[in-house]
Chains A and B, each alone.
Chain A
Amino acid sequence: NAGVTQTPKFRILKIGQSMTLQCTQDMNHNYMYWYRQDPGMGLKLIYYSVGAGITDKGEVPNGYNVSRSTTEDFPLRLELAAPSQTSVYFCASSYSLASGRSTDTQYFGPGTRLTVL
């Protein structure tokens, strides 16, 4: 079991470039999340998904897009990179037994450190 994997580990982008951060989990979790963590701060939720084909905005969705075509994958897309998107991005997943209730543990990936210059 690899858990939650993220690629790439590091990336430097120029302003206006686009990229996709990959996230895959092999635990058959139905819920998946994207967070960003700015230096010295806690995590902020960008987008989340409760199952394949279902996504919704979190606290800071502007400048990002997501899709969930399979249970395993939840990529995060940056279309026009801006310096304000310099951050560490974490993907997480959890399992819910019933609709609308999450379990107590979100499993986090190792993170992607993104710098936009």
Chain B
Amino acid sequence: EAGVAQSPRYKIIEKRQSVAFWCNPISGHATLYWYQQILGQGPKLLIQFQNNGVVDDSQLPKDRFSAERLKGVDSTLKIQPAKLEDSAVYLCASSLADRGLHFGPGTRLTVT
């Protein structure tokens, strides 16, 4: 089966600019997650979707971050405006019930 797809793989922007990341989960996976991983730290859960509904967005900085999964399949994570501390790898994952999370390759964001 095809894995979780993410794009772009790398992005460099200046602070105060906007950026968007795209994720296409494994076919049939109802649950989709976005994580932020800062260098040297474990992934931090930003938001979890079940189909097109939000299950958990308690750690999403809602003043600047937004995410959507309109048709219950692919998803977009947006940052507007970006700050220097947003430099990180943004990981998308999907899962089927209790069978573990499948992660994509991530998008490495550098904010200058």
A and B: interacting chains: no
A residues apposed to B, CB below 8 Å: none
